[in-house]
Structure 1
Amino acid sequence: MMKDRPTTTSHETAPAGETPTAAGHPGRATEADTPRAIRRGATLREMAREFVRHPSPWMIAAVFVAALVARIAVGDWQLTDALVPLIVVATFPVTEWIIHVTVLHWRPRHLGPVTIDSELARKHRAHHTDPRDTPLVFIPPKSLTLTIVALVAIGLLAFPRLGLGLTFLLTITTLGLLYEWTHYLIHTDYKPKHALYRAIWRNHRHHHYKNEHYWFTVTTSGTADRLLGTAPDPATVPTSPTARHLHAQ
């Protein structure tokens, strides 16, 4: 992990007009609001060096490479090999929204003495508590392993052709890497330089620092949020007291 510390206050990393606050001290930035791994003004190259120090990008990349080698070996290219990526990419914003709302923002349930609460939900609550804790930005390895097993099973068993299933795996792992990189980059001090990334950056920052009940998409500029009614005008939304502590009420 890089050891450099930024000298900025936390308002420079929140959405325009928003200041992340320390728990119990609204409006006052503290050391908890400063990044632990990324220094101010870091370049994309430095971001990438930090990115590859975490396990999830390597795990997803390994599946991508294995699927690519297998896909080339199998051959049997058909028109549907172009159709599957189009469908997956077109539906990904809604899929991402659903996972964020139903899995990551899962409220723990109690069934007698048993608490139903996944690792993904627990880690995501911790991520909201400290959005600048870099390891919490990434998909937990244990949960990612189970997800990879499930996706490989779908790719090998749910498609009429092996080649088509491998095409599915190539597509989903590409999107997985895009998700990890985008989510990671949003939570660093790297500033948006292009309109599309600026919109994505602002959307997710509002989710963390304005109100956790809105702006659930991460890799798009809010397409699914607009479709599903969770992209209000930020000026009309009150700052949530539980954005840093999910389900605290």
Structure 2
Amino acid sequence: MRKTTAQQKRDTENAVTSDARARVRADESALSAPRRTAVTLGGAFRAFCRYPSPWIISAVLGVLLTGRIAVGDWRGEDAFAPLVLILLFPLLEWLIHVFVLHWRPRKVAGLTLDTLLARKHREHHVDPRDTPLVFIPWKALIWVIIGYNTAALVAFPRLGQALTFMITVTVAGLVYEWTHYLIHSDYRPRNRAYKAVWRNHRLHHYKNEHYWFTVTTTASADRLLGTYPDPAAVPTSPTAKTLHGQR
């Protein structure tokens, strides 16, 4: 008996779901398997420095620091905006992860609205062990750097104040890249705080992509926004590796 189009579609969806669940289980098993070689923090850092985004961010940081020293005009009030940014960073990280990186492509007037950041992040979920995909794509990174630096120059009344804020954002970006890389490397956690960060992000990739969105903190924003469940109470998502069922 010939299957209808609807039946064929259901069969295809079931096959994709079954395959996704099998791959997630395989990856979860691989995580608990012992590594053949131990990776030191120094070894991880040397590997981190082989990729373009740390160098791009570091170069921008060097220019900004030089500019800030040259401008002078040091005032205590300049620390206010950076302190607010540091306090809000977990929330900003959560919002970017949910609404930018997990953006679902949409068609508007026949055009597909998608971004390089979202596309590369979907690829990152397909293969979290593909190291180049761990980093912010350099083409997108250039525009991000131009964007926040321009915004700071417009928003702050003094150049010194703007440069202080720009330095803080740049350092935050470098911390994010290093932490995200380290989580996906073979380096194993040595202290409780980093172990919590490491575990939460691994759960996001290998358990359920709808939870555990923070990367650089111990799930502070996730706790606040209801995306920090008991892992035992959450089903393993068949689309943890194929966001929105897409590659």
TM-score (norm 1): 0.85
Structure 1 segments of 4 or more deviating over 2 A? Answer: 21-30
Aligned to 2:3: none
With 236-245 and 72-81 compared, the bigger mean Cα shift is at 72-81
1:66 partnered with 2:63: yes
Counterparts of 1:197 and 1:22 in 2: how far apart (Å)? Answer: 32
Counterparts of 2:65 and 2:36 in 1: how far apart (Å)? Answer: 35
Q: Which has the higher contact order (CA 8 A, sep 6+)?
A: 2
The equivalent position to 1:75 in structure 2, one of 57, 69, 72, is: 72
Matches within 5 A, 1:47-62: 47-62=44-59
Does structure 2 conserve the Cα–Cα contact (< 8 Å) formed by 1:109 and 1:115?
yes
1:164 partnered with 2:161: yes
1:125 partnered with 2:135: no
**Change in CA separation of 1:54 and 1:27 when aligned onto 2, cut-off 3 Å:** closer
Does structure 2 conserve the Cα–Cα contact (< 8 Å) formed by 1:108 and 1:117?
yes
Letter in 2 for 1:194: N
**Change in CA separation of 1:45 and 1:22 when aligned onto 2, cut-off 3 Å:** farther
3-state SS of the aligned residue for 2:136? coil
Aligned residues: 224
Letter in 2 for 1:116: L
Letter in 1 for 2:182: L
Kindly provide the CA deviation profile for residues 149-176 of structure 1, in whole angstroms up to 9, marking residues without a partner as x: 1011012221011001000111011111
3-state SS of the aligned residue for 2:112? strand
Which structure shows the higher helix fraction?
Answer: 2
Does structure 2 conserve the Cα–Cα contact (< 8 Å) formed by 1:22 and 1:28?
no
3-state SS of the aligned residue for 2:235? coil
**Change in CA separation of 1:142 and 1:126 when aligned onto 2, cut-off 3 Å:** same
Quote the sequence identity (%): 60
RMSD: 1.9
Aligned to 2:109: 112
Counterparts of 1:57 and 1:27 in 2: how far apart (Å)? Answer: 30
3-state SS of the aligned residue for 1:131? coil
TM-score (norm 2): 0.86
